[in-house]
Amino acid sequence: MHAKVTAHPRFTRARIDDRLYGAFIEHLGRAVYGGIYEPDHPSANAHGFRTDVLDLVREIGAPVVRYPGGNFVSAYNWEDGIGPVEDRPTRLDLAWHTRESNEVGIHEFADWCDAANIDMMLAVNLGSRGIDAARNFVEYVNHPSGSYWSDARIANGRAEPWDVKLWCLGNEMDGPWQIGHKTAEEYGHLANETAKALRAFDPSLELVACGSSNAEMPTYPEWEATVLDRCYEAVDYISLHMYFTNYADDLRDYLALSQKMDRYIGSIAGVIDYIQAKKRSRHQVAICFDEWNVWYHSTEQDKQVLQGSDWPFAPPLLEDVYNFEDALLIGCVLNTLIRRADRVKIACIAQLVNVIAPIMTETGGVAWRQTIFYPYAFAARHGRGTVLDMDVDVACYDTAGEANVPMLDITGVHDTDAGTVALFMINRSPDDALSLDIDLQGFGTARLIEHQVLQHSDLKAANTASRPNEVAPVEGESLACEQARLSGRLDPLSYHCVRIQVGATTAA
C-alpha cells in the first residue's frame, strides 16, 4: 500500500496553543495520594512529592494541569485544603465514594506544579456551591494582599499570588450523576453570573464553561447551544470530554474512533459559530477539550469501591492498564487534536498519574511509563508550532460507525524558529506495510534528525511494574530523507514520531 503526502510551509492550518498538550489531576483514587504525593516514599522530596513521578512528568513537558476535578470538584470545599494540615477536615467524597484527608490542597498542589514546571488550571465548584465560593477561591489564589482571602493565603505561608489565568466554571454540569447537576438554562445562567463576578475581579482571566460530558448525552448538543446562548460573551472556552472504549475488541473500529472525536469537535465548532452569528458577536469562543483518553479497562473492577459500603482512602480506582493498541489510538487522537488546533486551543489528557494515566506507580514502589505515555510525550515535546495542511493520498476503510478512515493517520507541525518539522504517523492497517513518500520540496532542504517507532507483535502487550519497558520506542531505520523527500516503510500497526531539519523556505 502506498501513501503519497505533500507538505509545504505555506499550506498551514493553525498555530498550536502549547496548552493543547495539557493534563489533568483529580483527587481521585491514587492520583494525588500514592501518585504525586507520598511522603513516606524513598524518592519523596521535602514537600512529600515523589521525585520519580516528577521526573516522568517533566519528561512529558505538559504545559498546564487541570485540578482538582472532575466530578470531585462538584462537592469540594477549597477551604478544607488550606491552613495547618493537622487541622484540615477529613471529608467523604461523594463522587468517588472515598475519604478525602485534604492533606494536599491548593498550596501543596501549587508547590508540586512549581517542581513539575507546569501551570495550574483550576476548577471552581458550581455543583454544591456557587459564585461566592468561586470568587473567594480566585481572590485567595490571585490577589496580592490587603483583602480577607489574600491575607489568609499570606498567613498560610504564601506571600506571592499564584496568578492562575485559566479557570473552569464547574465540571460536567449536564451529568445527572454530578452533585448539583443543572439544566442547561440553569447552568448557563450560573456560568454567566460567575464569570461576571470573576471578571469584575480580573477581566483578563480565561474562563471555561462546561460543555456536554460526552457526545452520547441526550442533551447534546442542545446543551452547548443553550449554555452558550446564556454566557457567550462572558466565557472564552467551552469544554468537551470524550473517553474511548474497545469492549467489542474490534481493532478496526477502535482505531477509527478518533474520527468520532473529529466530528464532535466539528459539531461544537458549528454550535459556537451559530451562537456567535445569532448574537452578532465578534467574540470568539474556542474549544477546551479538557478530558480525553481511553477509559474502560478498569470499569468492572472499580464497581466494588464505587458501590461499596465503606469509604476507603485513596484506593486504586480507574487504574486502566494500557496496551499497545491503546497507544496507537492515542496517537490518532492526538493527531486529531493537532489537526483541529484552529478550534481546540486547550486539551487535557485525563488524567496524568495512576488514574487513567500515562504514568503509573506502586505505592511505596516504582513508577513507570504506560504505553500511551509515548505518543503523548512525543506530541507534547515536539508538536509545538504551526500545523501543516498536508495533502495525503492513501487508501481508506469503512467501519460500522465511520466512513473513509485513512490507513495512514499523519500530522505535521512546523516549528519555524527551530527550522524543524515533526511528523506523527500511525499505520492503521493490521495487514499491510505502507510505502511512504513525503514531498518536502517546498521547505528547500530536509534532513532526518530523529525517527522513533512504537511497535509490538502483541496488540495487548502492556507495561507493568515488573516489565516497564515491554512496549517502548526504538530508533527507526526504515525511513530516509533524500532530495527533500522522506520515504520508506511504515510497518502494519506502527506509530512513528519523525523530526526533520528543514532548510530555508521558498519565496511566496
**Min dist. Cβ of residue 208 to ligand AHR (A):** 13
CA–CA–CA angle 416, 64, 361 (5° rounding)? 115
Give 399: exposed, middle or buried? Use CB within 10 Å, 0-12, 13-18, 19+.
middle
Residue 212 engages ligand AHR in binding (rule: CB under 6 A): no
Nearer Cβ to ligand AHR, position 29 or 385? 29
Residue nearest to ligand AHR (CB): 70
**Min dist. Cβ of residue 398 to ligand AHR (A):** 30
**Min dist. Cβ of residue 214 to ligand AHR (A):** 8
One DSSP character per residue, 217-274 reads STTTTHHHHHHHHHHGGG-SEEEEEEEE--TT--HHHHHTHHHHHHHHHHHHHHHHHH
Nearer Cβ to ligand AHR, position 63 or 68? 68
| Whether the Cβ atoms of residue 228 and residue 222 lie closer than 8 Å to each other | no
Residue 351 engages ligand AHR in binding (rule: CB under 6 A): yes
| Whether the Cβ atoms of residue 463 and residue 469 lie closer than 8 Å to each other | yes
Q: How does 130-164 read in b/e, with b if 16+ C-beta sit within 10 Å?
A: bbebbbbbbbbbbbeeeeebbebbeeeebeebbeb
**Min dist. Cβ of residue 95 to ligand AHR (A):** 7
Q: Which residues within the stretch 278-307 sit at the binding site for ligand AHR (CB under 6 A)?
A: 291
Of 93, 100, 108, 172, the residue at the interface with ligand AHR (CB under 6 A) is 172
Nearer Cβ to ligand AHR, position 177 or 313? 177
Q: How many residues bind ligand AHR (CB under 6 A)?
A: 10
**Min dist. Cβ of residue 207 to ligand AHR (A):** 18
Number of Cβ atoms within 10 Å of the Cβ of 396: 12
Nearer Cβ to ligand AHR, position 123 or 235? 123
Nearer Cβ to ligand AHR, position 262 or 291? 291
Q: Which residues within the stretch 40-79 sit at the binding site for ligand AHR (CB under 6 A)?
A: 69-71
Q: Is 291 a catalytic residue?
A: yes
Give 431: exposed, middle or buried? Use CB within 10 Å, 0-12, 13-18, 19+.
exposed
> What are the two backbone dihedrals, phi and then psi, of residue 424, each rounded to the nearest 5 degrees?
-120, 120
Query: Which residue is associated with the grid cell 471555561?
Result: 208
Q: Is 86 a catalytic residue?
A: no
Residue in 139, 172, 206, 325 annotated catalytic: 172
CA distance 384 to 337: 12
Which residues touch 3 (CB under 8 Å, ≥6 apart)? 392, 393, 394, 407, 408, 410, 434, 435, 436, 437, 490
Residue 26 engages ligand AHR in binding (rule: CB under 6 A): yes
Nearer Cβ to ligand AHR, position 259 or 351? 351
Q: What is the CA radius of gyration of the chain?
A: 23
| Whether the Cβ atoms of residue 360 and residue 367 lie closer than 8 Å to each other | yes
**Min dist. Cβ of residue 374 to ligand AHR (A):** 21
Q: Which residues within the stretch 311-350 sit at the binding site for ligand AHR (CB under 6 A)?
A: 350
The amino acid that residue 487 corresponds to is S
Nearer Cβ to ligand AHR, position 108 or 172? 172
Give 467: exposed, middle or buried? Use CB within 10 Å, 0-12, 13-18, 19+.
exposed
**Min dist. Cβ of residue 246 to ligand AHR (A):** 18
User: Which residues of this protein are in contact with ligand AHR, per CB under 6 A?
Assistant: 26, 69-71, 171-172, 213, 291, 350-351
Catalytic residues: 172, 291
